[in-house]
Copies of this chain bind each other. A is one copy, B any other.
Amino acid sequence: MKIALAQLNYTVGDFDGNTAKIIEAVNRAKGEAADLVVFAELSISGTPAYSLLEKVTFLEHCEEALVEIASYCDGISALVGLPIQREDGATVSAMALIQNRKVIRYVTKEFIRIGDDRPFMFGGSGVQYVKMCGKKVAIVVGEDIYKEQEYGRNADLIINTRSSQYRRGIVEKRYNDYCDMAYRYNKPIVMVNQVGAQTDVAFDGSSAVYNDRGGMVAMLNSFAEDFRVIDTEAENPVVELPAQNRTENVYKAIILGLRDYFAKNGYFKACIGMSGGIDSAVVGALAVEALGAENVHFLMMPSQFSSDESVVDAIEMAKRMGVEYNVIPINEAYKSLTDSLIPVCGGTPFGVTEENIQSRIRAIMLMAMANKFKYTILNTTNKSEFATGYGALYGDYIGDFSVLADVYKCEVYSLARYMNREREVIPVSILEKEPSAELYPGQKDLDYLPPYDVTDAILYRMIEQGQHREEIINAGFDDEVVRHIHSRLVKAAAKRHQFCPILRVSTKPLKPGVEIPLTTRYGLYY
């Protein structure tokens, strides 16, 4: 059977755009004499759609698009994904099977254990078997593939459609899982995944075909659209998984995420507050790569506490990259604000209040750029800072979109070195200086947190691995340091609640909005 894998970049709720893409792929598959063309899970609607899944008109638009797509499917079968209503009105994730221009069957996803749509998506009836080209084909939606152990007995071929997000290490993990499943079931598996980003989520594609001995015989692009026709009867040679570099994958996911965030939302120009530190430098370099230097603006906002080198480094960055910039000192505004506050704060010593005022004046300046010139503000907070609440709410925490808040500080350095692999995009002086927020003379991040390699190792265990404090201390980390970081992690939850969307690249992103309850005694006292 000749199966076309159509790995396309959809936009949530863009029925015209998604339908046009799908029809174009149907036609291409017909041109290449495919028997069947397979699209990803939720291809018509795009995903995640959150509460739109509860809207009848949204579901109706999906249905109308499906009817239009079906009208092009003469001489070819198609599997297209969309949300539909279960009998009781709950929404389920379905694959529609089109044959002879008619929708002849819906296969719905049974297990909804994970994923962003879970609060709005319910369980369907699971795997179905259909005859196609004389073969018995198991159609499996999403993670149901991990649940069913009986495909081996019941099918000649397994087709599995996914909307599987990129997260660090997923390409390797998915490859291992599918090789293993194809081997155990002793059946070929065709897997088609979403590609492209929707706000904070990036799908990596990496659709693939496996033979019945657990060998991968085809793999489509990662982080880009792709299309491939495979004859499952042919003796396809086994191909190796391309070498995976995790930093490179994170880099590609971020570039895709940035590009799609701007393109799909109709934004054009990014503005970044450039301190001369590593985080803003990396965000600046990523933005230039994703959007082009002509669409990026840097704003340097030195105070009396900023070092000369920071401003020099930031200007050097801008010049190397060919990015327009302005230098707007904040000294006067800082003096004016603190003077105004003398009736309430006068006579108190310089402290976190005054540090935050500097950070918040910078936020006002950046938001003025956004309001006046329609710039989209990119946040520069990294995951180590975000987790521990190191940064001012309504200050460094502002932005329309966060590029790095799911990337630990040590990984920010890896990204910088990766981007510098051919030429020095980010001045080495920025990589080598000691991290500092420069909010008072001589301030260093080390005054607040242990060295970032220790902080990150502890945070990784707490967040990604879900380890309890005691486990981490037993693994050899310093008791007091672990408790300090844990206390910061818990207390910073209220600040994380008010954060902008964060591009996700890890297995355990800290999401804005509710993650742990803000009112709780657990964590601090137990």
Cβ–Cβ contact B198 & A363, under 8 A: no
Instruction: Tell whether A49 is near chain B: CB-to-CB under 8 Å.
Output: yes
Cβ–Cβ contact B500 & A497, under 8 A: yes
Q: Which residues of B contact A54 (CB under 8 A)?
A: 466
Q: Which of A71-79, A93-101, A224-232, A513-521 lies on the face that meets chain B? A: A513-521
Instruction: Tell whether A369 is near chain B: CB-to-CB under 8 Å.
Output: yes
Instruction: Tell whether A499 is near chain B: CB-to-CB under 8 Å.
Output: yes
Q: In the complex, how many angstroms separate the beta carbon of A522 from the nearest chain B beta carbon? A: 3
Instruction: Tell whether A348 is near chain B: CB-to-CB under 8 Å.
Output: yes
Q: Which of A23-31, A167-175, A336-344, A440-448 lies on the face that meets chain B? A: A336-344
Instruction: Tell whether A264 is near chain B: CB-to-CB under 8 Å.
Output: yes
From B55, B265, B519, A261 is in contact (CB under 8 Å) with B519
Q: In the complex, how many angstroms separate the beta carbon of A55 from the nearest chain B beta carbon? A: 7
Cβ–Cβ contact A466 & B17, under 8 A: no
Cβ–Cβ contact A17 & B340, under 8 A: no
Instruction: Tell whether A364 is near chain B: CB-to-CB under 8 Å.
Output: yes
Cβ–Cβ contact B326 & A344, under 8 A: yes
Q: In the complex, how many angstroms separate the beta carbon of A29 from the nearest chain B beta carbon? A: 25
Cβ–Cβ contact B348 & A328, under 8 A: no
Instruction: Tell whether A345 is near chain B: CB-to-CB under 8 Å.
Output: yes
Cβ–Cβ contact A514 & B517, under 8 A: no
Question: With the chains together, A520 CA to B512 CA distance in Å?
Answer: 19
Q: Which residues of B contact A87 (CB under 8 A)?
A: none
- By beta carbon, the residue of chain B nearest A17 is B521
- By beta carbon, the residue of chain B nearest A57 is B468
Cβ–Cβ contact B330 & A520, under 8 A: no
Question: With the chains together, A365 CA to B342 CA distance in Å?
Answer: 11
Q: Which residues of B contact A365 (CB under 8 A)?
A: 337, 340-341
Cβ–Cβ contact A49 & B517, under 8 A: yes
> Chain A, 18-54, contact with B by CB distance < 8 Å: what is the 0/1 string?
0000000000000000000000000000101111101
Q: In the complex, how many angstroms separate the beta carbon of A278 from the nearest chain B beta carbon? A: 25
Instruction: Tell whether A479 is near chain B: CB-to-CB under 8 Å.
Output: no
Q: Which of A7-15, A157-165, A184-192 lies on the face that meets chain B? A: A7-15
Among A496-526, those with CB < 8 Å from B are 497-501, 511-523, 525-526
Cβ–Cβ contact B400 & A522, under 8 A: no
Cβ–Cβ contact A330 & B326, under 8 A: no
Question: With the chains together, A330 CA to B264 CA distance in Å?
Answer: 39
Cβ–Cβ contact B360 & A356, under 8 A: no
> Chain A, 359-374, contact with B by CB distance < 8 Å: what is the 0/1 string?
0110111011101100
From B12, B299, B519, A260 is in contact (CB under 8 Å) with B519
On whether A521 and B118 interact (CB within 8 A), knowing A466-B54, A468-B57, the answer reads: no
Cβ–Cβ contact A512 & B513, under 8 A: yes
Question: With the chains together, A14 CA to B468 CA distance in Å?
Answer: 18
Cβ–Cβ contact B519 & A497, under 8 A: no
Q: Which residues of B contact A51 (CB under 8 A)?
A: 515-516
Q: Which of A61, A356, A494, A520 has the most chain B CB atoms inside 10 A of its CB?
A: A520
Question: With the chains together, A329 CA to B341 CA distance in Å?
Answer: 9
On whether A364 and B361 interact (CB within 8 A), knowing A13-B521, A522-B52, the answer reads: yes
Q: Which residues of B contact A361 (CB under 8 A)?
A: 337, 364
Q: In the complex, how many angstroms separate the beta carbon of A389 from the nearest chain B beta carbon? A: 13
Q: In the complex, how many angstroms separate the beta carbon of A260 from the nearest chain B beta carbon? A: 7
On whether A394 and B372 interact (CB within 8 A), knowing A48-B517, A499-B498, the answer reads: no
Cβ–Cβ contact A50 & B521, under 8 A: no
Cβ–Cβ contact A198 & B517, under 8 A: yes
> Chain A, 290-305, contact with B by CB distance < 8 Å: what is the 0/1 string?
0000000001000000
What are 29 sample pairs from A and B whose C-beta atoms fall under 8 A apart? A11-B519, A11-B521, A13-B526, A14-B520, A14-B521, A15-B522, A15-B526, A46-B520, A48-B514, A52-B520, A118-B118, A118-B119, A198-B519, A199-B519, A329-B340, A330-B340, A332-B336, A333-B340, A336-B337, A340-B365, A360-B363, A360-B367, A361-B364, A364-B364, A367-B393, A367-B394, A394-B394, A497-B500, A512-B513
User: Beyond A13-B517, A199-B519, A367-B393: 7 further Cβ-contacts under 8 Å?
Assistant: A11-B519, A14-B522, A17-B521, A341-B365, A351-B372, A400-B494, A512-B513
- Ranked nearest first, the 4 interchain pairs of A and B with the lowest CB-CB distance are A513-B513, A13-B522, A336-B336, A353-B371
Interface of A toward B, CB cutoff 8 Å:
11-17, 46, 48-52, 54-55, 57-58, 61, 90, 113, 116, 118-119, 197-199, 260-261, 264-265, 299, 326, 328-330, 332-333, 335-337, 339-341, 343-345, 348, 351-353, 356-357, 360-361, 363-365, 367-369, 371-372, 393-394, 398, 400, 466, 468, 494, 497-501, 511-523, 525-526
